[in-house]
Structure 1
Amino acid sequence: MRMISPIIFTVSLLLSSACHAAVQEFCVADLTAPESPVGYSCKKPETLTVNDFVYSGLGVAGNTSNPLKAAVTLATVPEFPALNGLGISLARVDVAAGGGGAIHTHPRATEIVHVVSGEITAGFISGANKVYYKTLNKGDIIVIPQGLLHFQLNSGRIPAKLYVSFSSASPGLQILDNALFANNLPTELVAATTFLDIAQIKKLKGAFGGIG
């Protein structure tokens, strides 16, 4: 079998990369226009300033006075239109002692969690139902593969601050408890598919605002 020339191989890689490159360098979203499956239409470049590429919303702590004792401050396209079409987004997560997010998934993005302060226990459940979790401290990061159920809990005694990044400008969010108990899926179907007690399901539907 003949070996491929290193030059030909390198050129092939460059051509492949070029074929997948964006036609435009950026596309700051025009939020006044309708959103399409591929994102928002672009603002006219001549109307843009440096301020369109700067977002300061992550500098303020979120309000953790809620049942989860946690707050998420997003930097996705609706908050930061410059991310439109770039395939990335961020969020700040503040978690009070004893608080944490419910088990959830981001169907369109892989997530990296960076612990800025405090201590958290974070992890995910693989498609083979194996659980990967660990207690993380300041400076640690954990990667959550796309679409997998995962969680972050404050396992320390002081508030925790996290920054998370996503491999999508619109990562999506589905919270497991809401999916089961915050809609009109009939209680009998929830019981048949989860093996939960009907009385418990009705109690949870009442807590999450579901009906049926």
Structure 2
Amino acid sequence: MDAKFSIKTTSPFFVVLCLSVLMFFTLSCFSADPDPLQDICVADLNSTIKMNGFPCKPESQVTSNDFFFSGLMTGASTANPEGRGVKLADVTAFPALNTQGLTVARIDLAPGGIVPLHVHPRGSEANFILKGKVYFGFITTTDVLYAKVMKPGVLNIIPRGLVHFAANVGPRKAVIIAVLNSQLPGFANIPTNLFNSTPEIPNFILAKNFRVDEKIIAAIKAKFALNDSLATGTWKYI
């Protein structure tokens, strides 16, 4: 009699197998940056050559310390108009990420703090909640909003290039770990793009778009200009 092979769908082996397959296809589908052509390429940030990334530091100069980063152990200040602090581990702060297609950030939100409406043109984003209650949402090109309040241990995904936001809706500070699949994913802050660009968008164009009087647009722009001096550090870039 031929032996029969079967796996119970509730067995730990089957669950691990499914998760492994899912992770493989997820990483494949969300791949944004080109695949690396060598094992390591620690960025030479002092090089004058900049073309779609950074050149590699000579391997003879690479040490173990290049592959460890402690910059996310503490949060950044949330004393700004958005109540948001960001510690960023991108290729410019963590050169070992060069060619690896990754950026990691720690986002601290004060009670009531927000991550403003924005897009990352070159990367998808996964967010893991370490602390607090955070209302996350993104909007598709068909104007459908997908949003939910997330608690510690919950993970979400923001598809590449879509408008998204977050807000701390809890009574205490929230902490988020964000991972993007690009070493330089880009950050387009929509409110700043609209009301504090250089050169500025004419008031009549914004008034027509938002269907309000030009005086309202002028008042909003004045607030952005006043707060611009407070926009220091990396908190405004991701």
Q: Structure 1: how far apart are the matches of 2:36 and 2:119?
A: 28
Q: Structure 1: how far apart are the matches of 2:121 and 2:58?
A: 31
SS at match of 1:72: strand
AA matched with 2:42: V
| Residues 171-197 of structure 1: per-residue CA shift (max 9 Å, x gap) | 100111011001212112222333332
Task: Flag the 1:80–1:35 CA change in 2: closer, same or farther, 3 A.
Answer: farther
Kept in 2, the 8 Å contact 1:115–1:140? The answer is: yes
Q: Structure 2: how far apart are the matches of 1:21 and 1:89?
A: 15
Note the residue ranges of structure 2 that are not aligned, 5 or more in a row.
1-27, 29-33, 227-238
Q: Structure 2: how far apart are the matches of 1:85 and 1:55?
A: 17
1:142 to 145, 156, 172: 156
Q: Structure 2: how far apart are the matches of 1:35 and 1:65?
A: 37
TM-score by length of 2: 0.77
Root-mean-square deviation (CA, aligned residues, Å) is 1.7
1:10-21 to structure 2, matched below 5 A, reads none
Distance apart, 1:105 and its partner CA:
0.8
| Residues 74-129 of structure 1: per-residue CA shift (max 9 Å, x gap) | 10011111111111110000001111111111111100010001110001001110
2:184 to 170, 189, 198: 170
TM-score by length of 1: 0.86
1:75 to 89, 93, 97: 89
1:44 to 46, 49, 58: 58
Report the equivalent of 2:167.
153
1:48-67 to structure 2, matched below 5 A, reads 48-67=62-81
Report the equivalent of 2:214.
198
Q: Structure 1: how far apart are the matches of 2:45 and 2:36?
A: 21
Q: Structure 1: how far apart are the matches of 2:82 and 2:37?
A: 43
SS at match of 2:114: coil
Q: Structure 2: how far apart are the matches of 1:196 and 1:51?
A: 55
Note the residue ranges of structure 1 that are not aligned, 5 or more in a row.
1-16
Report the equivalent of 1:11.
none
SS at match of 1:206: helix
| Residues 57-88 of structure 1: per-residue CA shift (max 9 Å, x gap) | 00011101111111111100111111111111
* Aligned length in residues: 192
SS at match of 1:101: strand
Q: Structure 1: how far apart are the matches of 2:165 and 2:105?
A: 15
Q: Structure 1: how far apart are the matches of 2:127 and 2:213?
A: 35
